[in-house]
Structure 1
Amino acid sequence: MKTTPIIAAAVVAGLSSAATAGLTWHQPGATAYTAASDGPWNATAADFSYFYLENFEQGAVVVPGLDLDGGAIRAPGAFTDSVDEDDGAVDGFGTFGRSFWNIGDGVTSVLRFDADELGALPTHAGLVWTDGNRAADVTFEAFDAAGVSLGSFIAQLGDDFGNGTTGEDRFLGVEFTGGVSRIEITTSLGGLEFDHVQFGLIPAPPAFALLAGLALARRRRR
């Protein structure tokens, strides 16, 4: 599964180029995410000082530094849409695995990262969208260490099936050298379901870290 990485322009949503340097979005690719090996950061795994993937298969959030609001863990069932590999077989269905879902109409789920527990905010963060209304706009938005939006993108991802099929599963993510404090995923119609929340830290080179720190300090003083 390949995502479509988009390097941010110099100015995004009114932010300065210094504040948005090192920002990359991972928009949905053309092929399905069926296993952890389909994630975009496996090739650079050795560069991370930490990296976690939460698949909800223990019925709880067990990785450190992650808190979720808006929704609940979904148990295996006829309509559950877990990532395909989580039930032990890549067979086009995710009904025997677990996921995180938020049922309603036009709902938002929030993923927060705890810098104190992790030691530092993740520079890479994302999730796998697994199910929702075909007609819905899905918005993925990320926020920096100060809680300021880094921007967002919109995708249409659903299909006509609600019985756990996995062909529409796609990775959505962000990279930001200044650190990501939270992600919000919103659907404009119906509920949403996701899985394989993954996040990690690649420390910035000293010169870039200094630049990012100065930019963040200026934004906080405004």
Structure 2
Amino acid sequence: MMRKSNVSLSLLASAIISNMAPADYLGPSPYLSFDDVSAGASISPFSDTTFLNFYIENFEDGNLNTPGVTLREFASTNITTAYSDSVDGDDGTIDGLATGSTRSLFSDFKTSSLTFDFSASALDGSLPTHAGIVWTDVGRNNGGTPLSSDLSENTIFEAFDQFGNSLGVFGPFSLGDSSISRTTSEDRFIGVVNINGISAIRISMPGKNNWEVDHLQYGTVLLPDTSSKKPEISVKGGYIKLDVIDGRSPPDEDCTATDHYGRMIYDPTNNALFLCDKFGWQEK
């Protein structure tokens, strides 16, 4: 619902903008362990973050069973240990190889994408603010070492906000090498941070059906309590960038709760600014 009013721009300048911070994509970055010091810089960018809750799924028990996440596509952890490309540190030693019976999540010659959906209700009522995954290997479709064409601009990553809207496609990136023998130097972390919540992440290798990932990781940071602070906007030496709609009304579902109040959105076609308050969207 929209309601037009005559509130002055000075009032807008004191509104709370609850979704002003953009999402940040991370990586691809070398990854040998979540936080093992012997891995040097090849660790998770989340390893030094303080979380309210945080989970890593390493698939070592053969299942995806960390709380609050499900996989849309079919995949398997039953790839033979001659080829299973787990994260290096999962075997206890950082040495450039995944050895022993360590496991990864394998596309099983069936899918070119892996989409992980998060459930706020299973995660103490909040969606993750941080999420990522480690890409570990690619082979030729249906088996064998990859062709050179399999290694070029082959991987994309996409995250979705708290409403299920895409936060943009990240990539493509050229990942992998000519080996399918459990080497780990090519392993790469890709992730996202969105303080408003992440409902899903998807990693894809379009046209490929023989690839692996590992170390799905996600968590929620404890945001500062601003309930006792006066609403304000403070910008120094820069700009405020609002979300934009083009010639249409703001979505009603984006202005239905008290924590939505103060949101602003701009329509450049009609040169209209909208503010969310208890009456719904107001055109200013």
Per the TM superposition, whether the score is higher than 0.5 is: yes
Report the RMSD for the aligned CA atoms in angstroms.
2.8
Which whole-Å CA distance do the structure 2 matches of 1:128 and 1:59 have between them?
17
Which whole-Å CA distance do the structure 1 matches of 2:263 and 2:223 have between them?
14
The gaps in structure 2 that reach 5 residues or longer are 1-16, 36-42, 139-149, 232-257, 266-274
Which whole-Å CA distance do the structure 2 matches of 1:106 and 1:156 have between them?
19
Q: Does 1:81 align with 2:97?
A: no
State the SS of the aligned residue for 1:60. coil
Residue in 1 aligned with 2:58? 55
1:146-186 per-residue CA deviation (whole Å, 9 max, x = no partner) reads 11001121111111111111010010000000100101111
Compare the two structures and name the one with the higher helix fraction: 1
Q: Does 1:204 align with 2:219?
A: no
Contact 2:98 2:184 in 1 (8 A): yes
Assess, with a 3 A threshold, how the Cα gap between structure 1 residues 128 and 212 changes in structure 2: closer, same or farther.
Answer: farther
Which whole-Å CA distance do the structure 2 matches of 1:212 and 1:162 have between them?
52
Q: Does 1:188 align with 2:206?
A: yes
Question: Aligned residue pairs: how many?
Answer: 199
Tell me by how many angstroms 1:62 deviates.
2.8
1:157 to 175, 179, 199: 175
The gaps in structure 1 that reach 5 residues or longer are 1-16
State the SS of the aligned residue for 2:71. strand
Give the fraction of aligned pairs with identical amino acids, expressed as a percent: 37
Residue in 2 aligned with 1:65? 68
Which deviates further from its counterpart, 180-189 or 193-202?
180-189
Assess, with a 3 A threshold, how the Cα gap between structure 1 residues 100 and 169 changes in structure 2: closer, same or farther.
Answer: same
1:178 to 196, 221, 227: 196
Q: Which has the larger radius of gyration?
A: 2
Q: Give the aligned residue type for 2:68.
A: G
1:55-95 per-residue CA deviation (whole Å, 9 max, x = no partner) reads 01111123111111321224551111000111122221124
State the SS of the aligned residue for 1:196. strand
The TM-score, its normalising length taken from structure 1, stands at 0.80
Residue in 1 aligned with 2:248? none
Q: Give the aligned residue type for 2:67.
A: P
The TM-score, its normalising length taken from structure 2, stands at 0.63
Which whole-Å CA distance do the structure 1 matches of 2:264 and 2:211 have between them?
35
Contact 1:95 1:163 in 2 (8 A): no
Q: Give the aligned residue type for 1:63.
A: T
2:163 to 142, 146, 159: 146
